[in-house]
Chains A and B, each alone.
Chain A
Amino acid sequence: MENLERLLADHPFLAGLPKDHLELLVGCASNMKFNAKQYLFREGEEAEKFFIIRSGKVALELYVPGEGAITIQTLGEGEIIGWSWLFPPYRWRFDAQAMEQTLVIALDGKCLRTKCEGDHHLGYQLLKRFTDILEQRLQAMRMQLLDVYKNT
């Protein structure tokens, strides 16, 4: 537990969280290991967790009829995967597959939702951080949609 607490406290995503909030998060956190090609989750499954990648690489994939699985983004060390646990209907919208052996800290979304309902300050702190990630992904998605390299 001490190890997990230190890992979470040192992560930029959680920088500035007070100790009591970090302790609450540690209560919902666990270490997990995924082998290459193993799925962290599949589209449509219940979104019970989010993940902080400690090492390795994960591909976010969408299945496109006629084209097969398309990788929409790869994420690596230090990055966060998943916000579907925050919003109903709490289902994953894509697949996440480990591209190599990947170590993550998994945070239990159900446990966190309950804690956020009970402590709105914690809820606000987490939402703020996830909104920043959502904003970054939205910008990236915009650039991808613009297909900027098509006509240069």
Chain B
Amino acid sequence: MHVSITSQTMLPHQYRVQRVRQETPDTFTLELHPMSEASAIRFVPGQFNMLYLFGVGEIPISISGDPRKSPTLVHTTRAVGTVTKAMRGLRKGDILGVRGPYGSHWPIASGVGRDIVIIAGGIGLAPLRPTLYSIVADRDKYGRVILLYGSRTPIDILYRRELESWRSRFDLEIYVTVDRALKSWRGDVGVVTHLISKAPFDKQNCLAMICGPEVMMRFAVMELLKRGVPDDRIYISMERNMKCAIGLCGHCQFGSLFVCKDGPVFPYPGVKDLLSKWEI
């Protein structure tokens, strides 16, 4: 995607918090509305915005809402550090700076006529949720639609009610597993990659999209390849620290790639050599 670099690109628009939802003990969702129609943001699934908490800092967060519900923006964030923890304190009516959308997107169009396999780990479900909204809205265009979701424990499962409602549909296959659980949990226990070998999809005619911690993505790719999925049918979403988000500062450099403008969504063959190295 070509980005023309003007001061406008770097300028955040003001958005008002419409709703705050606590998803899990450390993860919350903000629903934001632009303060002027002119600053409404249209996005495609997989893209991210830079969210600016005035006086605290600016961070990249994927857009996790429904692209058809523009201009409302939805962001799900895990509180891990300075900015995200301060953001957790936002309430309805508070104002936030937003610039974007940035980056590449999930190649949903190339999944038409194929089985869709979405593999998410932890907060990685957030950047993939818009793809599910888009696919569900155009359900007839795709083969089987399968979500494999792994979370740390049952209380860390994101979007639980939505997962339950998707699971109750006959045309979506939703598998959830947790890494550890007390005996009272009746669902699956085991790593998300364990689900890959059992999931019913056409390995030759599918589109696989993965988002989660890098280690989990590496293991997931290995399982998909072992199952016989061609590597050019696999896409992953990468994270790196960011500052400008428009390919200027080099903060997000990943080998010769810039995660902010060449990614965050990459076809696996383009990053496989980088992915196997620990720190780049």
Contacts and interface: CB of A to CB of B under 8 A. Distances in A.
Given A72-B180, A144-B179, A149-B122, A59 B189 contact: yes
Interface string A66-110: 011111111010100000000000000000000100000000000
Contact of A149 (B179, B183, B186): B179
Contacts of A2: none
Given A68-B183, A152-B78, A73 B122 contact: no
A143 B180 CA distance: 11
A147 B121 CA distance: 11
Interface stretch (B88-96, B102-110, B202-210, B213-221): B213-221
B226 to A, nearest CB: 10
B191 A99 contact: no
Interface residues of B, number: 31
B190 interface: yes
A61 interface: yes
A140 B151 contact: no
B198 interface: yes
Given A149-B121, A149-B213, A152-B213, A61 B183 contact: yes
Given A140-B190, A148-B213, A149-B151, A71 B182 contact: yes
Contacts of B152: 147, 149-150
Interface in A105-152: 136, 139-140, 143-144, 146-152
Interface in A17-68: 59, 61, 67-68
B280 interface: no
Given A69-B182, A72-B180, A143 B78 contact: no
A72 B198 CA distance: 18
Interface in B111-146: 121-124
Contact of A70 (B181, B187, B213): B181
Size range of the chain A interface in the assembly = 20 to 34
Per DSSP, chain A at the interface is: mixed
B188 interface: yes
Nearest to B188: A74
A37 B133 CA distance: 38
B183 A69 contact: yes
A57 to B, nearest CB: 8
B194 interface: yes
B185 interface: yes
B123 to A, nearest CB: 5
A99 B78 CA distance: 33
A27 to B, nearest CB: 30
Q: Which of the listed residues A69, A74, A146 has the most CB atoms from chain B within 10 Å of its own CB?
A: A74
A37 to B, nearest CB: 10
A139 B212 CA distance: 17
Contact of B189 (A72, A147, A152): A72
Contacts of A140: 190-191, 193-194
Contacts of B187: 74
B23 interface: no
Contacts of A76: 188, 198
B156 interface: yes
Q: Which 4 A-B pairs have the closest CB atoms?
A: A149-B122, A149-B152, A69-B183, A148-B213
21 contacts: A59-B189, A68-B183, A69-B182, A72-B189, A73-B190, A74-B187, A76-B188, A76-B198, A99-B186, A140-B193, A143-B215, A143-B216, A143-B219, A144-B191, A147-B152, A147-B179, A148-B179, A149-B212, A152-B121, A152-B123, A152-B124
Interface of A: 59, 61, 67-74, 76, 78, 99, 136, 139-140, 143-144, 146-152
Given A71-B189, A74-B187, A149-B122, 4 more contacts: A68-B182, A74-B190, A143-B179, A148-B212
